[in-house]
């Protein structure tokens, strides 16, 4: 039962320890002195992870669903603890709770931070934050591909049609597609970095921004985020790759394999997602231009970029929406709860699930008018099964309950309601910024107490596991 769990988590620690060596030598290349904290942390992680891996090494023919849940949940909670080690005493991070929060924000691709000044941090720290974003982004996709068929809430019908194995064991399916996902993900990161380098960034900046963008993690290496560059072309590239990160990467795999764009162009979820972005952008551009007496072109640039950053949960804002007026908090809260497509690097509830809710409401409105009419719930040309509807409603209710519960917990700890609510939404959706000035695009989470930081670290992982996964594991363990 425990052998595959220990072996896989040991392997993850081994990989993390190995990856820690790169930031150490990046600092050596930059300053002539390696970052010994990264080397020491890496060696410790390699030793413990290697011991776990070798002690439990063996051929795993199958992994049950229960083991799959345990592997996923254990790895998501263990990884931030290991990834936090190089932060301790490095740069501005002196406390373990701060290091855990920063590492969790990185690996869950949330992008919230406790750093008040990122530009004074060593390059090793900045690179490690971005690497965690990149690693978390691909990890999120593989998690979604692995567990969504069992949860019934994934919406990746095309993937399930291509890979029909949805029995008690899912490891063969993961082996089949994980390599393709990783290759495509790395290629998209390389393309993004090359474009940013061409537009004037140095290699270090371009690589960091690429990892933060495609993972929709949003860790910035500048205090003023992307606004530091004040470049419409850079914002265009970042915006496009935020959108690409918000699309199901399994479809990119199929595009490369089948040499056809039909996988994306004829997908109801993707089409709805893109149409919503166009509609919201046009409406908010007109409103912003009217309210601020700005030109339509400048308003479009501001709205389009920041709207994409919000709806994709990337959080790479070029403007502080908190200063736009009271309406912005409401609009951006709605955007935060959208999310991108299932099977993407984005957080939050995601478009497919809102499509299921709309199909359900549409069916019942028609039935209210014509009780005898037979109405099928459909998403595009696909019929939505009742089991999927039940799973989606369960997930959304669990997600919203999580927001209410942890807002209450943070309020009882001493935070005012708006800060508690904004912090919970920011961390459970993966957007990384709240609805008040203190934790907005120009703010950070440094002033919070250790209890609040530990709580929000848990909330980030809970959001990435889409809440219901933890509940499913709890009930499966209880039944067993």
As a whole number of angstroms, the distance between CA 244 and CA 222 comes to 23
Residues contacting residue 9 through CB under 8 Å, at least 6 positions apart: 49, 52, 71, 74, 75, 78
Has residue 249 got a pLDDT over 70?
A: yes
CB 440 within 8 A of CB 322: yes
Give mean pLDDT, residues 448-468.
92
- Expressed in angstroms, the distance from the first to the final Cα of the chain is 12
User: Could you tell me what percent of the chain has a pLDDT over 90?
Assistant: 56
Has residue 321 got a pLDDT over 70?
A: yes
153 vs 337: which has the higher pLDDT: 337
Has residue 427 got a pLDDT over 60?
A: yes
465 within domain boundaries: yes
Element (H, E) at 82: helix 65-83
User: Could you tell me what percent of the chain has a pLDDT over 70?
Assistant: 86
Give mean pLDDT, residues 330-345.
91
Q: pTM for the complete prediction?
A: 0.88
Q: For tokens 């939050």, what's the residue? A: 348
464 within domain boundaries: yes
Of 110-114, 186-190, 257-261, 459-463, give the lowest mean pLDDT range: 257-261
Q: For tokens 């591909």, what's the residue? A: 145
447 within domain boundaries: yes
385 vs 333: which has the higher pLDDT: 333
Domain that includes residue 423, residue range:
385-479
Is residue 317 helix, strand or coil?
coil
Report residue 76 as tokens. Answer: 């998501």
**Would you state the pLDDT for residue 278?**
96
Give mean pLDDT, residues 18-31.
86
DSSP characters over 338-386: T---TTSS--SS-HHHHHHHHHHHHHHHHHHH-TT-----EETTEEPPH
Give mean pLDDT, residues 445-462.
95
**Would you state the pLDDT for residue 1?**
63
pLDDT, tens only, 186-212: 999 999 999 999 999 999 999 999 999
Has residue 175 got a pLDDT over 50?
A: yes
The DSSP symbol for 172 reads H
Has residue 384 got a pLDDT over 90?
A: no
As a whole number of angstroms, the distance between CA 375 and CA 378 comes to 9
Chain centroid to CA 309: 12
457 within domain boundaries: yes
102 within domain boundaries: no
Residues contacting residue 307 through CB under 8 Å, at least 6 positions apart: 277, 280, 281, 284, 335
57 within domain boundaries: no
Cα–Cα–Cα angle for 356, 460, 182, rounded to 5 degrees: 75
Is residue 90 helix, strand or coil?
strand
As a whole number of angstroms, the distance between CA 443 and CA 439 comes to 4
DSSP characters over 99-168: HHHHHHHHHTT------S-GGGS-HHHHHHHHHHHHHHHHHHHHHHHHHHHHHT----HHHHHH----SS
2 within domain boundaries: no
Domain count within the chain = 1
Q: Tell me which range, 32-46, 253-267, 398-412, is most confidently predicted by mean pLDDT.
A: 398-412
As a whole number of angstroms, the distance between CA 427 and CA 383 comes to 33
As a whole number of angstroms, the distance between CA 248 and CA 339 comes to 12
53 within domain boundaries: no
**Would you state the pLDDT for residue 306?**
96
Give mean pLDDT, residues 301-328.
94
**Would you state the pLDDT for residue 474?**
65
Report residue 83 as tokens. Answer: 């990834």
């Amino acid at each position: 039962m425990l052998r595959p769990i220990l072996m896989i988590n040991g392997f993850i620690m081994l990989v993390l320890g190995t990856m820690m060596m790169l930031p150490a030598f990046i600092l050596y290349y930059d300053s002539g002195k390696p970052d010994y904290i990264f080397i020491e942390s890496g060696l410790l992680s390699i030793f413990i992870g290697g011991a776990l891996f070798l002690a439990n090494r063996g051929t795993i023919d199958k992994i049950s669903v229960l083991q799959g849940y345990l592997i996923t949940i254990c790895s998501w909670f263990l990884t931030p603890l290991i990834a936090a080690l190089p932060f301790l005493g490095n740069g501005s991070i002196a406390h373990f709770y701060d290091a855990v929060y920063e590492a969790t924000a990185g690996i869950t691709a949330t992008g919230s931070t406790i750093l008040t000044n990122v530009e004074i941090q060593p390059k090793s720290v900045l690179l490690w934050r971005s690497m965690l974003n990149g690693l978390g982004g691909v990890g999120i996709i593989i998690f979604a591909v692995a567990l969504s068929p069992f949860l019934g809430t994934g919406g990746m019908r095309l993937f399930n049609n291509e890979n029909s194995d949805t029995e008690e064991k899912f490891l063969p399916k993961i082996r089949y597609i994980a390599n393709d996902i990783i290759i495509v993900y790395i290629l998209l990161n390389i393309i993004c970095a090359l474009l940013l380098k061409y537009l004037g960034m140095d290699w270090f900046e371009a690589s960091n921004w690429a990892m933060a963008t495609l993972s929709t993690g949003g860790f910035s290496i500048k205090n003023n985020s992307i606004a530091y560059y004040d470049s419409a072309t850079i914002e265009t590239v970042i915006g496009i790759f935020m959108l690409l990160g918000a699309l199901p990467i399994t479809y990119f795999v199929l595009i490369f394999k089948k040499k056809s764009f039909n996988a994306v162009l004829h997908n109801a979820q993707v089409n709805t997602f893109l149409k919503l972005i166009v509609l919201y952008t046009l409406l908010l551009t007109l409103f912003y231009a009217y309210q601020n007496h700005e030109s339509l072109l400048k308003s479009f640039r501001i709205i389009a970029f920041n709207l994409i950053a919000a709806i994709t949960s990337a959080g790479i804002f070029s403007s502080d929406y908190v200063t736009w007026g009271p309406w912005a908090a409401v609009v951006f809260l709605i955007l935060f709860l959208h999310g991108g497509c299932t099977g993407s690097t984005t957080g939050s509830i995601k478009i497919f699930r809102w499509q299921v809710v709309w199909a359900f409401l549409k069916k019942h409105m028609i039935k209210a008018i014509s009780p005898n009419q037979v109405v099928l719930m459909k998403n595009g040309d696909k019929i939505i099964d009742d089991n999927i509807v039940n799973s989606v409603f369960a997930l959304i209710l669990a997600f919203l309950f999580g927001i209410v519960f942890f807002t209450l917990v943070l309020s009882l700890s001493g935070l005012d309601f708006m800060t508690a609510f904004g912090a919970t939404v920011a961390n459970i959706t993966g957007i990384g910024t709240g609805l008040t000035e203190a934790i907005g695009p120009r703010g950070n989470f440094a002033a919070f107490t250790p209890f609040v930081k530990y709580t929000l670290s848990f909330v980030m992982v809970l959001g990435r596991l889409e809440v219901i996964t933890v509940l499913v594991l709890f009930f499966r363990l209880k039944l067993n």
